[in-house]
Structure 1
Amino acid sequence: MSKSAFQALVAQITTTIAGQPVTPDLKGVLQAKFPPEGTVFKSIEAACHQAIKDGWMCEREHGGIKYGRVVEATPDLAGYSIDVVHMKDVAGPHHRHPDGEIDMVMPITPTAKFDGSPKGWVVYGPDSAHRPTVTEGEALVLYLLPGGKIDFTRNK
């Protein structure tokens, strides 16, 4: 799986939601069109695992979290960027989403939850903030960020 092939897989999602406001209501659209048991979701999940094995995804590590920006925001992705993180029973760094954040939660441990949510979709609206947390095991999370925007909170 190449980065361009991976981008094409994810573009199925971003082109479907292009122009829609990134609000918690978008979760229902994503769950209906791209359910966790569906072909697109499963294909992206398998591609993430393969890309990690191949060494070009989640190639950085800090604080027990493996992560990396896979694709910068691009018109081919309706202006979204793609990041993927691999987390196990850990809270990540606090950050704010200037234009929102769409998360595809892919548990590795069946019971794992991301911010309390099981396998599926989580959507944070514009100007929301959180400390992303995986509990009850290990998970991959794919982040779609409008314009690639994310503001990490500085520790003081």
Structure 2
Amino acid sequence: MSQPESPPVSEPFQALVRTITQALAGRAVDASLEAWLNEEWGAQSSWYRLMKAECERGVREGWLCTREAGGIRYGRVLPPGPPTAGFSVDVVDMHDVVGPHHVHPTGELDLVMPLTPQAQFDGTPAGWKVYGPGTAHRPTVTQGRALVLYLLPEGRIEFTRA
């Protein structure tokens, strides 16, 4: 039996993704990138407010976070390719939960969007958290519920047993 198809991803969401991924094209995935993202595209920016609203709408309308495992709703929204400057785009919906351990062969850029005001993702409140190439973690949301949009260069992620 096949699963019903999700509604298509909204054009406003795709346009917001193109805006950020084109701005990221060619930049090193490191601590200076995190600082730049938070300065230019952080929680104080209009881009952030629009993206958070689109993600909330996507969850409500059923085109984001279409799968569930271990108390985490998740889903790949867009594959890596030219429209996303080679990044894949995923969104997770987490509420006081620890996710599966994984490695970031090419890095991971996380946009933290708390739905509960005090919620944090890996100790980070609203804004960006960047993991460089070769890093690993167990993604954790504490103090409530948050949506996290994550960009993976080349779409690369390796889940482990650690």
TM bin, normalised by shorter chain, reads over 0.9
6-15 vs 112-121, greater mean Cα deviation:
6-15
Say which SS state the counterpart of residue 53 (structure 1) adopts.
Answer: helix
Offset of residue 10 of structure 1 = 1.2
Counterparts of 1:39 and 1:8, CA distance in 2 = 14
Please tell me whether residue 61 in structure 1 is matched to residue 68 in structure 2.
yes
Question: Deviation of residue 4 (structure 1)?
Answer: 5.3
RMSD: 1.3
Aligned partners of 2:65 and 2:91 also within 8 Å: yes
SS of the residue corresponding to residue 86 of structure 1 reads strand
Q: CA deviation at 1:24?
A: 1.9
Q: Hey, which bits of structure 1, 4+ residues long, moved more than 3 A?
A: none
1:147 counterpart residue number? 154
User: Is the Cα contact below 8 Å between 2:8 and 2:63 reproduced in 1?
Assistant: no
Identity of aligned residues (%): 54
Are 1:12 and 2:19 matched, yes or no? yes
Paired position in structure 2 for 1:135: 142
Consecutive unaligned residues of structure 1, counting only runs of 5 or more, are none
Query: Please, which runs of 5 or more residues in structure 2 have no aligned partner?
Result: 1-6
Show the counterpart of 1:3: 9
TM-score, structure 2 normalization: 0.92
Q: Does 1:113 align with 2:138?
A: no
Report how many aligned residue pairs link the two structures.
155
CA distance in 2, matches of 1:33, 1:17: 11
Q: What's the CA shift for 1:35?
A: 2.0
Quote the Cα distance in structure 2 between the aligned partners of 1:31 and 1:154. Answer: 32
Q: TM-score under structure 1 normalisation?
A: 0.95
Which of residues 17, 33, 54 in structure 2 aligns to 1:47? 54
1:12 and 1:27 map into 2 onto residues whose CA distance is 17
